[in-house]
A and B are shown apart, each in its own frame.
Chain A
């Protein structure tokens, strides 16, 4: 398998506080990689460093062959992001918003129009194509955020808490969409969450973070065996044992 992301000793310090502490791992092509941890574990900081929005204190990462410090522009060329608190231009319609992002991503004009339409259909917002984004519910905004992250047709998708604030049906749809993007379109998906059942159902591999450190890394069966989980033991229990809570 080809590594599309290699994280090497990535560290971020804010004064005396270490938000991310010498984190290293690699993520392979078409993999669904979950970053799991409680609030403040360093998941979002790691993601923002991968995109060059935060400068690492130490270490680096290579995204799609480009170093995030030496060539951040190239590194994020093939990356789509759905941020944790996604926001759009409320005064613009869904179509206008996506067209703006397509223009930013240098998508040729003729290709952009059809891509925008397809993406709006893909996330199930066909009837909201010409509605202003300010009228969207939280769940619709999250789905629309996925469309935005796909507008430049990236190889890597980074989704920060994609199911936050979505109802169970929306969560299921989101899960199916992520699976489709990875397994059928070959996209590498990194997503952060603190919802354990999503990780359990969706991820090929998981990194569990605690206070900026990756305390466990592997497939779900690996993680279970590393901690000698009992047959039938809930993954939530496994996670809490990793966190030292139980």
Chain B
């Protein structure tokens, strides 16, 4: 079942189209990110204080490299969160209702096989397709990045990139499960596509915006003037509310986790100088643990809902 599903998916034109799009945007963004990374490495050493020109008194001295993998690969992460979600939805939005519409679901279920076999097989087939896309895209993206930057691949960097890959896979698996669930619940593929796209839009846009709006209502940002210059002060409550609500969005959570994992160093401001402090992988993982738990929990919950509905559904 999984093998057939995988072959069906990778043979479809829509799959090839979205896969091609994802590959192109990731290659372009990693190329651009690589160039930025290289130029920041060569010019690393000083950053100007806000409102002052470089080279004049008041300049900070930077000890170490300020450019992290997370900054360099940020557009790759963003593109993955956008196009990766769409690809997963495109694969799964009609998994079950297309079988129903085609008239093959009753035939399939008349065989002496458990419904579990069908739903696992179909999901696994989709997951294999997503995995294939991720492996190719990642290897190509990382290959371009390394060749542009000449970055030596340390064990730490390799581990971070591997985790980036793993988290991206979970992210796509969530949208795969969302599409699957909607294809079970909604009878028409066109309706499930629309509903899946609404979920995706909510994830990338609506939920973060709601977080911002609720944060603003509860803890409004204050405008103050110091020396005639206007500045906004952002209350801690606003940031906390915004983080909690935005964190419900798989896309925001994905970006947060990946950025934390890819951030190998951070800047600490001390009197007169900025020190780059390294963050080891263990610390990064610990920091993103709650988000990771939510992420995996969300995947399990959505798939479990799809499983329960499908195994109890009447096939008319």
Contacts and interface: CB of A to CB of B under 8 A. Distances in A.
A104 B314 contact: no
Interface residues of B, number: 20
Contact of A152 (B1, B11, B111): B111
Interface in A82-129: 83, 85-91, 100-101, 104-106
Contacts of A83: 103, 106-107, 110
Interface stretch (A72-80, A174-182, A207-215): A72-80
6 closest A-B pairs by CB: A87-B103, A87-B102, A81-B110, A53-B315, A85-B103, A83-B106
A79 B110 contact: yes
A86 B112 contact: no
Given A76-B111, A76-B112, A152-B112, 20 more contacts: A48-B315, A51-B109, A53-B106, A53-B109, A53-B314, A53-B315, A73-B113, A74-B112, A77-B112, A81-B110, A83-B103, A83-B107, A83-B110, A88-B104, A89-B104, A91-B11, A104-B113, A105-B112, A106-B112, A148-B107
Contacts, number: 66
B11 to A, nearest CB: 7
Contacts of B101: 87
A55 interface: yes
Contact of A51 (B102, B103, B110): B110
Interface of A: 45, 48, 51, 53-55, 73-74, 76-77, 79-81, 83, 85-91, 100-101, 104-106, 145, 148, 152
11 contacts: A48-B316, A51-B110, A53-B110, A53-B315, A53-B316, A73-B114, A85-B103, A87-B107, A91-B8, A101-B111, A152-B112
B4 A100 contact: yes
Contacts of A73: 112-114
A105 B104 contact: no
B28 to A, nearest CB: 32
A221 to B, nearest CB: 33
A86 B316 contact: no
Contacts of A105: 111-112
Contacts of A87: 101-104, 107
Contacts of B111: 76, 101, 104-105, 152
Contacts of B4: 100
A48 B106 contact: yes
B20 to A, nearest CB: 20
B304 interface: no
B316 A54 contact: yes
B32 to A, nearest CB: 38
Interface in B108-139: 108-114
A152 B11 CA distance: 28
Interface string B126-163: 00000000000000000000000000000000000000
Most A CB contacts (10 A, CB to CB) among B1, B103, B108 go to B103
A45 B316 CA distance: 8
Nearest to A55: B314
A138 B8 CA distance: 23
B103 A86 contact: yes
Interface string B287-316: 000000000000000000000000000111
A180 B101 CA distance: 32
B107 A86 contact: yes
Interface in B84-101: 101
Nearest to B312: A55
A73 B116 CA distance: 12
A89 B8 contact: yes
A54 B109 CA distance: 11
A54 B314 CA distance: 5
Contacts of B103: 83, 85-87
A59 B11 CA distance: 45
A100 B315 CA distance: 21
Contacts of A86: 103, 107
Interface in B271-299: none
A237 B1 CA distance: 49
A74 B112 CA distance: 7
A7 B175 CA distance: 43
Contacts of A51: 106, 109-110
A76 B109 CA distance: 10
Contacts of B107: 81, 83, 86-88, 101, 145, 148
Nearest to B314: A54
Contacts of B1: 104
Most B CB contacts (10 A, CB to CB) among A91, A101, A104, A105 go to A104
Contacts of A74: 112
A81 B105 CA distance: 12
